Structure 1
């Protein structure tokens, strides 16, 4: 009996240690300090922007401005120096799912040209302008829905984005076979490269080599990341993969393995999407001593799916400072978002959503919607 009590006691202690370690692991901390005179910047990221039918129809019947869906979260974007979104699906004017061009059919929802259901998505290109006006500075468009309007859909999406000066990554035009899948942008005093990729294309053929795949040629991905990160005009590289298993809160073995390979190759941070639910973040220290970040999935930002897990997303913030010729992460933060009806809101009082986000991202680095971002990023002790 005494041995059984001792065994149960040890088992309880072990389980407590495991659970405590897991909880602590969600509260990521970085060693780099904020000092006067530094060149510091902040970046923000959101997860899947997937305009399902109910949301799309509400926009058509309402303001005909897509930002009516996410307008309550605009202040979360504009508090960062540079904001990145993941647009899941093409924004190709007039193109149906067979890749045929019908021209400008107007701002409608018809399930032929513009659709948000049945695993086939296409948005009126006005969505690009609306995202830009809400504070988004760059979009990754490499995902499993990129080819929902065939090759022409990618071409038209890029053309529409270029017309308003909004950079896109992870895709390229059919006529530009050697165009890069990344963009290097100036943010404050830093030069940051953003690279998008996708795990799959839902069976659609990428016959014109317009999509960058995360796993199809991993050795080429490693070489590409190494080449970009070693450029003299690049201070940091952010990889934006569309990957993982839908509705799973834990990253799969490929996500874990390739994340480390790509960080070792030179990436500064990896910010993932696709599972439509949150997956955790973690700090990873490379063999050369760099502190890097993996956020496996930011969940849904805009989506019409049901349930707390699929209605809760996070805005992730990343603080970068230039030291010794390279950018280092000095802090992270996140703010949960939640869909109520056909609108997205910052979470302030929804206990269930807050607890769900904290179970994967911890509570220490949660920034209130009206919180001062840079001061929070610089804080080391909470």
Structure 2
């Protein structure tokens, strides 16, 4: 009887749990229960860690003076078409330039229009020179040098018009005061993800004077640019570099036409001016005009803000395309400078590697037109001669290449030769 009573009591307690509940409500309750269990029992996934920011690394390549003496212009002439084509002269340099994120050089001639082309002392070259430079891989040409005014203001203006048409950026000369005022004559470029403000100046204009209302035409760093060439316009340089700093680019590069022709060492004017430029914010000082190689170095200064800073200075890369000939190899020996630029995650941007590839401008006077002048990669040309595969280098030329290589190593240092 006690067992029966206990069973009845248990059954009475269980029956309310068996009451009918509509399907929807039962399902909803079940989901809530399941979700509740999941929330209390399933482990939460760990958040993915933020990836470490990577530095930005790019390559800026720099070449020397692009000139078209009349033997160069004549070798570019294509009789069949009556046009000009310089591409064969650039072809070996183009193989290196295609690896650059950005490439610059100095255009030391005017593009004032034909048919009366001329070389030294008043340069005027076919437009094809600019097209060949673009096809070879150059992105920007400096137009501030002692030959900028060789064909007057009209020559300056047309040169810039042609470069615009070709798609080459330019810095150093302007067609109007408005162009100069727009950005203090500064060109800002994207160098593989690193912003660089380019400025350009020349010491003078081979004795020519600019009219007082045309001083905007060429950027000059000397006050006495047509006489003694000894008094830098520090106020202008300071103001321009202050403006460049305000653009907040990663780096500032100054391309400058200076020094003494045919001297393989910088003079005191160059070293003092380089120091001033770096003090005022220049990170790169890229020189030309001597027509021969001069060394490069990193200098340390106290900057405009009282802080220690460094700047890379290349005093001269000599001629690039030219017909200057000397019994020594100096005027025909050149290099393409290869600068690795690195922008750290905190925004600090520095030159992290410096090197160069040496070149030689070979003269083959007995060859047919179109095959007389080539800018040769010295190592490549010597290797092809040694392998018996060269069509451009004979025994005599091979000796000149070796002499040129020794000269480049003496001036720039063998340790920086990237092709050695």
Q: Give the structure-2-normalised TM-score.
A: 0.72
CA distance in structure 2 between the aligned counterparts of 1:36 and 1:353, rounded to whole angstroms: 44
CA distance in structure 2 between the aligned counterparts of 1:73 and 1:36, rounded to whole angstroms: 35
Counterpart residue number, 1:206: 210
Is residue 274–residue 297 contact of structure 1 (8 Å, CA) maintained in 2? yes
Counterpart residue number, 2:334: 313
Per-residue Cα deviation, 1:37-95 (whole angstroms, up to 9, x for no partner): 2101110011111111111101114672112222121112111110001110111224x
RMSD: 1.8
Matches within 5 A, 1:309-348: 309-323=330-344, 324-341=346-363, 342-348=373-379
Tell me by how many angstroms 1:126 deviates: 2.3
Which structure has the highest helix share of the two? 2
Counterpart residue number, 2:100: 80
Per-residue Cα deviation, 1:278-321 (whole angstroms, up to 9, x for no partner): 11111112323333211100011111111301110011111111
Counterpart residue number, 2:262: 247
Please, which of 212, 219, 231 is the counterpart of residue 247 of structure 2? Answer: 231
Counterpart residue number, 2:415: 364
Is residue 117–residue 126 contact of structure 2 (8 Å, CA) maintained in 1? yes
Is residue 294–residue 317 contact of structure 2 (8 Å, CA) maintained in 1? yes
Counterpart residue number, 2:117: 114
Is residue 288–residue 316 contact of structure 2 (8 Å, CA) maintained in 1? yes
Per-residue Cα deviation, 1:236-280 (whole angstroms, up to 9, x for no partner): 011100111001111111111010000111111111000001111
Q: Which has the higher contact order (CA 8 A, sep 6+)?
A: 1
Give the total of aligned pairs: 316
CA distance in structure 2 between the aligned counterparts of 1:114 and 1:173, rounded to whole angstroms: 22
Counterpart residue number, 1:258: 273
Please, which of 256, 267, 280 is the counterpart of residue 282 of structure 2? Answer: 267
SS in 1 for 2:84: coil
Unpaired stretches in structure 1, ≥5 consecutive residues: 1-34, 95-104, 106-112, 370-382
Tell me by how many angstroms 1:175 deviates: 5.8
Matches within 5 A, 1:165-244: 165-174=167-176, 176=178, 178-179=181-182, 180-207=184-211, 208-209=214-215, 210-216=217-223, 217-232=233-248, 234-244=249-259
SS in 2 for 1:256: helix
SS in 2 for 1:133: helix
Please, which of 289, 295, 304 is the counterpart of residue 314 of structure 2? Answer: 295
CA distance in structure 2 between the aligned counterparts of 1:164 and 1:196, rounded to whole angstroms: 20
Please, which of 65, 68, 75 is the counterpart of residue 88 of structure 2? Answer: 68
Unpaired stretches in structure 2, ≥5 consecutive residues: 1-51, 224-232, 364-372, 383-400
Per-residue Cα deviation, 1:348-367 (whole angstroms, up to 9, x for no partner): 13321111111111111111
Is residue 277–residue 312 contact of structure 1 (8 Å, CA) maintained in 2? yes
SS in 2 for 1:328: strand
Is residue 291–residue 328 contact of structure 1 (8 Å, CA) maintained in 2? no
Structure ID, larger Rg: 2
CA distance in structure 1 between the aligned counterparts of 2:362 and 2:131, rounded to whole angstroms: 24
Q: Give the structure-1-normalised TM-score.
A: 0.79
Runs of 4+ that moved beyond 6 A: none
